[in-house]
Amino acid sequence: MPATIDRPLAVRCRSLTKTYGAGPARVFALRGIDLDVYRGELLMLAGPSGCGKTTFLSIVSAILDADEGLCEVLGHELGSLSEEARIRFRRRSVGFVFQAFNLLPALTAVENVAVPLLINGVPLGSATQRAQTLIESVGLAARAGSLPARLSGGQQQRVAVARALVHDPQLILCDEPTSNLDHRAGHETMSLLRGIAGDRRRTLIIVTHDTRIFEFADRVAYMDDGRIVEIGRGDAAARQP
């Protein structure tokens, strides 16, 4: 991906700040973040624990409010949205992939994938059919009826990716998606996510400590002490003509 990117923005942040606590106990999580993320881009956020990466994801997903600054995501200025509008925004536009998979243990793989659609009011039959299609697309057609405990870590993460995609969101947010996986399973998960980012409709922001997966990024933004200190080309961008 070239240094100057001719592509619409998915995320535009300016001077974002966020603190927790008050008085002597006040902690600065974000200290004036400026960042653009482009549609169809796979951006990784790297940096030490406690530097503000997860706080940034929480603001971009409209879970947390910034104290100051601007955060526009998919054409919405998040600070101006009501709580009801923020919930609709997350349900329709954002998919989440978590470090710990967060699958419901009593539901099968296909039932787990269907959950976001059911929350959005999609009838059970239609939700199940769409979930089955996504399960097949991540290579788990034979395990659709399996409970999470019967799946490997890599398979569980593939279910989690399918669940994040089932409502066709334009933005996918991933928090340490490979940290609980071995090298092979992590590589397979990132190959899957890289393919998703190849669809220009979707943008991925991935928080990670795993330097082995930088090869899948278009860009890597390095954070420290609540600031973005450097943005570099990922290996995926370097391989592009």
Q: Is residue 4 part of a domain?
A: no
Cβ proximity of 13 and 69 under 8 Å: yes
Is residue 101 one of the residues assigned to a domain? yes
- Determine the Cα–Cα distance for residues 239 and 193; give it in Å rounded to an integer: 17
Given this model, what pLDDT does residue 11 score?
Answer: 97
Give the rounded percent of residues in the chain with a pLDDT score beyond 90. 71
Q: Please tell me the distance from the alpha carbon of residue 145 to that of residue 118, in angstroms, as a whole number.
A: 18
Do the beta carbons of residue 7 and residue 201 sit within 8 Å? no
pLDDT at 234: 77
Confidence (pLDDT) at 236: 61
Residue 177 belongs to a domain: yes
26-67 confidence digits (pLDDT tens)? 889 999 999 999 999 999 999 998 899 999 999 999 999 999
What's the rounded Cα separation, in Å, for the pair 191 and 229?
27
* Residue 35 contacts residue 223 (beta carbons within 8 Å): no
Q: Contact 61/27 with Cβ under 8 angstroms?
A: no
d(CA 50, CA 69): 20
Angle (CA) 182 145 136, round 5°? 70
Distance CA 113, CA 119 (A): 11
Is 1 part of any domain?
no
135-167 pLDDT tens trace? 998 999 999 999 999 999 999 999 999 999 999
Tell whether 80 is covered by a domain: yes
Q: What is the CA radius of gyration of the chain?
A: 18
CATH number at residue 84: 3.40.50.300
Model confidence at 2, pLDDT cuts 50, 70, 90, reads very low
What pLDDT, on a 0 to 100 scale, did the predictor assign at position 148?
95
Within 8 A by CB and 6+ apart from 130, the residues are: 114, 117, 122, 166
Instruction: Establish if 119 belongs to a structural domain.
Output: yes
The CA distances from residue 192 to 44, 73, 142, 198, in Å, are: 15, 24, 18, 10
pLDDT tier, 237 (very low <50, low <70, confident <90, very high otherwise): low
The structural domain count of the chain equals 1
Residue 241: band (very low, low, confident or very high) from pLDDT cuts 50, 70, 90: very low
100: domain range? Answer: 9-238
Instruction: Give the C-alpha separation, 225 to 177, whole Å.
Output: 22
Per-residue pLDDT at 110 exceeds 80: yes
**What's at 227, amino acid-wise?**
R
Confidence of residue 99 (pLDDT cuts 50, 70, 90): confident
